[in-house]
Structure 1
Amino acid sequence: MTYLYAEKSGEDHASQFVQQVKEYQLDFSLSNLLPNNYYPIPKVYLSSRIEGEKLIYKNIKKRHFLQKKELTVACVNPKQIAQIYPFVQIIDSQQIHASIESLRYDLPGLPPNIFSVPEITVIEKNSKDSVKKITEFCFYFTGNAKIQPLLSFIEQAQVEERVFTLGPRSSQGLNLYTISAIKVEENLAFPEAELFLNLGLLLPNQFDFDRSFIEIYTSERRGYENYGERNQKTKKQFISFIGAGSIIAQENNQKEQISKSINTPSHLKNNAITFGQSFLYPMPDLKGVTYESFA
């Protein structure tokens, strides 16, 4: 989104936009890319409710995303998890490749170099025997009137059927996306909500850790390198986020201050930030939640 902003309005305006996000001037938050109409399952919260029950935990573990009503059922009674359909599951696998070294170096007789690269498949299970591959995804973002330029750029990209690359191996036709629809979500505000389902990668600022259920996601961060710099040894930088599916409890009605963005280490890239202001989906108090109140 930042690259799109820079392309349409220039790097200076994009830098200003990034700085305003960091300083909470835009009320901007952003989710991960999610299967359409699905939400990440709060595994840590659910697991805390079924301590010692391995079969139930196994069923929780294989469900990565649930729809809103099914998510409520799981939160109210985790022991029903095995009967909850549909759900979305992520399948990890390895894709085998062969590099023909004899052709690459024009040296007949060299054996091929066999290697593998990771691959994930996102599937929807509507029953034990019904499986469908997911190809439609969505993301959520919030903001005040100051993000109107960004929204206009996204709307223009939809009209132009612009192709976005969100991941590796785009030359093989993988990880390519277009914007099919832009919608304003209604009924996302529970005035009494103190708990939120984290939908993205969150850098913690101020919230109630004691009442939260947190899953940690650690990632290696690398800055952009020019071609001539790629073989130079650079110090690796790792950062831990609060992952999607965590339940976050706000403190002192300071929802806007729950998360933050931070300055990216200077050896990776100057004048950049690591974004951590994740989209938080409001939930009522889980202790007294009813199916109707959340649906």
Structure 2
Amino acid sequence: MITYEVKLKKIGEMTTLPDSQRLFGFLMNFSKKYCTEDEISSFVKGVREQKQKCMISNIVPSGYYPTPKEYIMQKLQKRLEKNQKEIQRLEKEQINSKKESEKIIQELIEKKNQENEDKTNKKKGKKLNKTDEKEKLEKEKNEFNKIAISIDDLSAKHIHETLKSMDFVAQNQFKELLDIGKKKEIIKVKELKEFKYIKKTKTFIQKFRLESQMKELPGMPNVAYSLPILSFKNKSEEIQKEFSFFVRVEKKSCISKALKELKRSFDGHEIPCFLGGKASAGYNEYGIYDIEELEESKNEKQEVVNVSYLNLGVLLPNFDNIQVEDSVLEIHTSDRKPFEIENEVSKVISFITAGSIITVKNDTVDPYQIGKSIDNSKYNPLYNKNTIIFGNSYLVKLEAHNET
């Protein structure tokens, strides 16, 4: 087996983040330059029958992994319980501070009334000094605001919102993020914000389709639609332009042969490619600028209990090999039925999405056996019999971690 990291730079705008299924199709189409049709058909059949090993990730920002948000929130529960106790203590301080402020305000009112009474009675009493009370009031106000900020920093809602914005976390900080639930003390929002992360944002632009020109029927009204535009920014609001995807295949496979040839063809220039719709309008264009062969882990066969993996792609699960109760799985259900197909044909399929944590039933399970690829004719008989729905996404093995 060999693992590649294919590095790309985005050109123009992105309407989608290419997933492992799209990339499998791209790589197979690219392989036609270096492999015969029979070799490609044999390879695809081997992937479906699990005789050929091939694992592909979604495209991710270079140097980052998708954040396992649900997993992190589960592991933070004990720390959040301590947060709640601390919040209750701070709220009591707030109440005391509020009472003290009200007391000071009442004293100021009484002094003001005293001054007014003296003026009404035309007395020349000495002017009352209210400076001390005002300073005390300002101090109590600052203390109240300080406590309010501390409560916000401990709030489970704000911690969840912060984690939700961390769509990708730096690879070199990934283990530290997974272990964040092991600490004994309270957790604060600013602790999460110390991590390097990427946030995905989606905006929409208005577009029009010229029906009268497309159908050559003058007078037809234009059709308005919205086009999603994705952007990826780090916490400094800098736009991420470099992306990667991972491929793990057998060394003599068609994909490996194609990637090796592509690597040899670099001459200082990026190789353009389109990975998504709206290519004719200049969207979803990338430039491949490097292909790196990654070293295989020397500890891959080491016996470890409760082996877990981070999913980086679109995975069709093989539940015979997954310890579901010890995994944190995020499921996406896709409607595969085109409008031409009759109702009795299967039309939906569920995938495990990127960022899920998958625990295998025993340490002898090959990571390739966690997912599977299936025949597409069951979902769309319009395709030829050799087409498959690719579901063997790329998995990153996590270090064993015990619960505390």
In the superposition, the TM-score normalised over structure 2's length comes to 0.61
How many residue pairs get aligned? The number is: 275
Q: Does residue 169 of structure 2 align to residue 66 of structure 1? A: yes
Structure having the higher helix fraction is 2
* TM-fit CA distance, 1:23: 2.6
**Deviations 1:180-201, CA, capped at 9 Å, x for gaps:** 1111223645435511111111
**Deviations 1:196-248, CA, capped at 9 Å, x for gaps:** 1111111111211111110112234378xxxxxxxx73358332111111111
Structure 2: gaps of 5 or more residues: 1-26, 81-155, 182-186
> 1:172 — aligned with what?
281
Q: Which amino acid aligns with 1:202?
A: L
Q: Does residue 330 of structure 2 align to residue 215 of structure 1? A: yes
Q: Is the 8 Å Cα contact of residues 162 and 193 (structure 2) preserved in structure 1?
A: no
Task: Give 2:375's match in structure 1, choosing from 263, 267, 271.
Answer: 263
User: Which whole-Å CA distance do the structure 1 matches of 2:298 and 2:202 have between them?
Assistant: 35
> 1:8 — aligned with what?
34
Q: Does residue 298 of structure 2 align to residue 195 of structure 1? A: no
2:52 partner SS: coil
User: Which whole-Å CA distance do the structure 2 matches of 1:101 and 1:21 have between them?
Assistant: 42
Bigger radius of gyration among the two: 2
* TM-fit CA distance, 1:56: 1.2
User: Which whole-Å CA distance do the structure 1 matches of 2:223 and 2:250 have between them?
Assistant: 52
Q: Does residue 75 of structure 2 align to residue 49 of structure 1? A: yes
> 2:16 — aligned with what?
none
Q: Which amino acid aligns with 1:207?
A: I
> 1:283 — aligned with what?
398
Task: Give 1:135's match in structure 2, choosing from 231, 241, 262.
Answer: 241
> 1:251 — aligned with what?
361
Task: Give 1:34's match in structure 2, choosing from 46, 53, 60.
Answer: 60
User: Which whole-Å CA distance do the structure 2 matches of 1:222 and 1:32 have between them?
Assistant: 23
User: Which whole-Å CA distance do the structure 2 matches of 1:31 and 1:60 have between them?
Assistant: 22
Structure 1: gaps of 5 or more residues: 224-231, 290-295
1:77 partner SS: helix
Q: Measured at CA, do residues 63 and 188 of structure 1 come closer, stay the same or move farther in structure 2, by a change above 3 Å?
A: farther
2:224 partner SS: strand
* TM-fit CA distance, 1:87: 0.8
**Deviations 1:19-65, CA, capped at 9 Å, x for gaps:** 11223333221111111111011112112123572221111111110
> 2:340 — aligned with what?
233
Q: Is the 8 Å Cα contact of residues 188 and 281 (structure 1) preserved in structure 2?
A: no
| Higher RCO (CA 8 Å, separation ≥ 6 residues) | 2
2:402 partner SS: helix
Q: Which amino acid aligns with 1:131?
A: E
User: Which whole-Å CA distance do the structure 2 matches of 1:11 and 1:164 have between them?
Assistant: 22
> 2:101 — aligned with what?
none
> 1:226 — aligned with what?
none
User: Which whole-Å CA distance do the structure 2 matches of 1:13 and 1:101 have between them?
Assistant: 43
Q: Measured at CA, do residues 233 and 186 of structure 1 come closer, stay the same or move farther in structure 2, by a change above 3 Å?
A: same
> 2:180 — aligned with what?
77
Q: Measured at CA, do residues 106 and 142 of structure 1 come closer, stay the same or move farther in structure 2, by a change above 3 Å?
A: closer
* TM-fit CA distance, 1:263: 1.1
Q: Which amino acid aligns with 2:396?
A: Y
Q: Measured at CA, do residues 44 and 268 of structure 1 come closer, stay the same or move farther in structure 2, by a change above 3 Å?
A: farther
2:159 partner SS: helix
User: Which whole-Å CA distance do the structure 1 matches of 2:165 and 2:315 have between them?
Assistant: 23
> 1:292 — aligned with what?
none
Q: Does residue 234 of structure 2 align to residue 124 of structure 1? A: yes
* TM-fit CA distance, 1:102: 6.6
Task: Give 1:155's match in structure 2, choosing from 233, 250, 260.
Answer: 260
Q: Measured at CA, do residues 26 and 87 of structure 1 come closer, stay the same or move farther in structure 2, by a change above 3 Å?
A: same
User: Which whole-Å CA distance do the structure 2 matches of 1:102 and 1:201 have between them?
Assistant: 39
**Larger CA deviation: 81-90 vs 273-282:** 81-90
User: Which whole-Å CA distance do the structure 2 matches of 1:102 and 1:12 have between them?
Assistant: 44
Q: Is the 8 Å Cα contact of residues 250 and 256 (structure 2) preserved in structure 1?
A: no
2:396 partner SS: strand
2:289 partner SS: coil
Q: Percent identity?
A: 28
